[in-house]
Structure 1
Amino acid sequence: MTSLNSLHDTLSPLLSPLHPSFPFAPIDIIGAMRLSSVINWIATGVFDPQPTAKGKKGIKKDRASIWQELAGLMIVVFGGDTFLAMCTGTTPSWLVTPNIAVLFCAIHILQTRTPFIHLLPTRPSLPLELLLAIPDAIGRTLLLTRFSIIPLLYPSSPSVKTLPATSVSLILVPFILAVPFASIAFSTFNFFSPSLKLTTPVELKAYGWMLVDTWCPLLISPLFLTLIGPVEGWDIGLGWGENESVVCCMVVLWACFTGRAIYNFGYRKEHWLEMFGVRGEKKKTE
């Protein structure tokens, strides 16, 4: 417990605003840059099937307009929050305090529509994904615990309308904030393609349930509740403090994201050799 508290104290500068006149924490900036990079990869066709026929290399893919990409970005970031606000009859957070919306939009414009785009990694790689597994885990854990479960358990004031804290809402609210609206933007309507088109969400396709981003909310939320419980709506628990529980969930999620990075980019020998700067000889083909 002491070590978890110490780790939380170490992470505190990442979670605190840099300055009163610049009310953004470093983790907010890193998260905005990370999401913008992923959107840029999708918009430029990095994950599209590569043509195998000769003479088709070097074709530049058209990308969506900046306004369409920003619309998709806002759906990813605030779709769940807006939906829950409609359920409770409250004002969405991005209308109350638009700072985060401005930050994410400004960073995406800077990273994709200015010369800064040349500084972005052109595609994901094992070293990059292993490095970013740490801030990814920190940001996602905060979303699934401190920014979703804690407001249900401890409303900021009696006048604030929130959903009742039940075993269902405590699991469903973090899931709604993290999964469905990201799926809508990324796959269901393809907001980051030049033309919108309705497709089956990736999560509903074969093996879609295996996506880490899909099942991690269903793992982290019960884990957090079990660590801090018993609380309203959750009758079992170990009675840990909030800080220790958040850090424990961060470690678990970091292990999940690290495993995903290795599975996607590093379980082959050539991936590890490339990461350490060793390139094997290409086989000659007739």
Structure 2
Amino acid sequence: MVSVEAFAPLYSDYLPALLTPVHGLFCPIGVLDVYGAIRLSVAVNWIASDTKGKPRASALQELFGIMVVLYGGETFIGCCTGQPPSWLINPSLGLVFGAIHLLLTRTPLHGLLPTKPSFGTELALAVPDAIGRTLLLTRFSVVPLLHPTSPKTLPATPSTLLLVPFIMAVPFAAVVFSGTQLFSPAITLQTPNELRPWGWTALDAWIPFVLPSLFLSLIAPVKGWPFSLGTDYSEDAAIVVCAALNIVFFVSRAYYNHAPKAAKSPKAKKVKKQ
């Protein structure tokens, strides 16, 4: 039987290459971040293009929304710990995200973007989306708590190990996309989708609790997490397991939301009408 640890190199061997800057000057972020920037820009464009006859939101408004999604969670946590957010020290990531969005939406390249989500597009992008979300909820949020490099890092406790990835992934994106309609022509305040009845059932609302819990339970015992599945996996292997599970979740969501629905038969319609 193949050990799960045999799949750990899928993470340790390939992730560094994905995070290595594409170009030291013109694109100082990795391929994974470039994909994330394109993906976010496409999603923003879908919303911003649905203007219902009104002028589209300004480029500055859209860029501001993207920066809130990108840095909101990190900035909030930085305020709690007294650590300056990364965009104050090195804004390269935000600048590239902004440049990519302007390039895709304010140049002739805009015509190449899909006008709305489709089953084929969402299904194809479900795998890289799931991998990126897994890394955010484990490698970039939980692991720094387990291996602090600054005395100002939050202590590893069950609450911080769950709330930090949640804060990084959910509340600011929820406020921007549905709580304020920040990418629409007119900003309006309303209840974010995640806080509406049954909003908690959305994948984006509960996955930030499930994946970190699974990741920590797979590598336990670790400081701050008393629960263990008895597997004693390495962090690399646990991230691979979480990514595999998350791919299933994201592919299932793409199928549920965008798969072509079977047309009702004329007989069924007639019975319903009667």
**What is the TM-score with the length of structure 1 in the denominator?**
0.85
Q: Structure 1: where are the runs of 5+ without partners?
A: 47-58, 271-286
The answer to whether 1:206 aligns with 2:197 is yes
Counterpart among 201, 218, 221 of residue 212 in structure 2:
221
Partner of 1:105: 98
CA distance in 2, matches of 1:195, 1:239: 51
Contact 2:119 2:260 in 1 (8 A): no
CA distance in 1, matches of 2:226, 2:80: 25
Q: Structure 2: where are the runs of 5+ without partners?
A: 264-274
Contact 1:44 1:61 in 2 (8 A): no
The answer to whether 1:136 aligns with 2:129 is yes
Counterpart among 184, 187, 194 of residue 178 in structure 2:
187
Contact 1:153 1:232 in 2 (8 A): yes
Partner of 2:270: none
Counterpart among 248, 251, 254 of residue 244 in structure 2:
251
Is the partner of 1:187 in helix, strand or coil? helix
Q: CA deviation at 1:138?
A: 1.3
Identity %: 50
Q: Tell me the amino acid that sits aligned with residue 4 of structure 1.
A: F
Partner of 1:278: none
**What is the TM-score with the length of structure 2 in the denominator?**
0.88
Q: CA deviation at 1:207?
A: 1.5
**CA RMSD for the aligned pairs?**
1.9
Partner of 1:279: none
Q: Tell me the amino acid that sits aligned with residue 37 of structure 1.
A: V
Q: Tell me the amino acid that sits aligned with residue 188 of structure 2.
A: K
CA distance in 1, matches of 2:121, 2:19: 22
Contact 2:179 2:192 in 1 (8 A): yes
Q: CA deviation at 1:134?
A: 1.2
CA distance in 1, matches of 2:163, 2:41: 26
The answer to whether 1:7 aligns with 2:28 is no
Partner of 1:41: 46
Partner of 1:281: none
CA distance 1:151–1:6, shift in 2 (3 Å): closer
The answer to whether 1:240 aligns with 2:233 is yes
CA distance in 2, matches of 1:206, 1:114: 40
Q: How does 1:265-280 map onto structure 2 within 5 Å?
A: 265-266=258-259, 268-269=261-262
Q: How many residues are matched?
A: 257
CA distance in 1, matches of 2:202, 2:108: 33
CA distance 1:115–1:60, shift in 2 (3 Å): farther
Partner of 1:26: 31
CA distance in 2, matches of 1:259, 1:172: 25
